Amino acid sequence: MVKGLWDGWEDGALVLDKASGQYFDETKMHVLDHRGTFFRVRGPLTVTGMPQGHPVIVQAGASEQGRELGAATANVIYAIHESLEGAPAYYEDVKGRMAKYGRAPDDLKIMPALCPVPGRTRADAQAKYDQLQALFDPLAGLGSLYSTFGDLSGHALDEPVPDLPLGDRELRSTAERLAERARTDKPTIRELYLRSGITGSARIGTPEDIADFMQEWFEAEACDGFNITPATLPGGGEDFVEMVVPELRRRGLFRTEYEGKTLRENLGLRPVTNRYRRDLDASK
């Protein structure tokens, strides 16, 4: 339904001719008139169409349902993989589901999270990361584990995660990874929450170390790019741009200028054709 609303105004629909009093071209304005079980939406939207046709649709989730939804609808999947093991299989699985929805593999970009912590030396990078970890509030850490393990506030932070029943509830992919790590690695509660979330995707080292990691994943067909999630802003983003981007460019792995003016163009996604224009062209 929302895509129909985005297509409500074709390119050039708004004439805005003060002299003639014509505000829009009626032949290029379309009413969706959606009437569903739960709501009705007439349309069109009260804002004009956008230069890229539709917004870029970003989906997150590695569960079975999430993979299917991403293959069917998403332009970008925000994934979280903590190691290269398993990432190429995930990439191949999701891309392999797209054909049944009439989509080509390049219509979807899989971009795992990457939290870069670069330093001029490895020791500098590690010191920066350790300082950030020391600022982590234990209450926030316990809160990040609550949906998987329940209330752990009655347990000592530096003791192993207790072997608690997780119940019969369906776990999200992130929760499944936390539960599996607790079973196999036997971390303390503090160690577990410090390596969850964004910091679980941290890569610590010199610009060359981080570029090595990114190149390895890209060449292994584990991803189409990365979703950079700096641990701090603006400093973390600036560190990546100033230190890592030049190294990626030196290797020919990163652009020197943008391909277009929209996010869709710069992601290498195909332009969107307005559904009403597409139907009209097909009828000719």
pLDDT digits (tens, 9 = 90+) for 209-219: 999 999 999 99
**Average predicted confidence (pLDDT) for the chain:** 90
- Going by pLDDT thresholds of 50, 70 and 90, the confidence category of residue 277 is confident
Range with the poorest average pLDDT among 103-112, 142-151, 203-212 = 142-151
pLDDT digits (tens, 9 = 90+) for 117-155: 999 999 999 999 999 888 889 999 999 899 888 899 999
Helix H or strand E encompassing 236: helix 235-239
- State the average pLDDT over residues 95-106: 97
Give yes or no for residue 168 having a pLDDT over 50.
no
pLDDT of residue 185: 85
- What are phi and psi for residue 127, nearest 5 degrees? -65, -40
9: CB partners within 8 A, 6+ apart: 24, 28, 29, 30, 44, 45, 48, 49
pLDDT, position 165: 64
Note the Cα 281 to chain centre separation in Å. 34
Residues whose CB is less than 8 angstroms from the CB of residue 108 and which lie 6 or more positions away in sequence, other chains included: 70, 71, 74, 75, 76, 77, 94, 95, 98
Reported as type and span, the H/E element at residue 140 is helix 138-149
In the chain, the largest separation of any two C-alpha atoms, in whole Å, equals 77
pLDDT tens digits along 45-80: 998 888 899 999 999 978 899 999 999 999 999 987
Residue that has been written with the tokens 């998987």 in this structure = 148
Does residue 169 carry a pLDDT above 50? no
Helix (H) or strand (E) run with residue 76 in it: strand 76-79
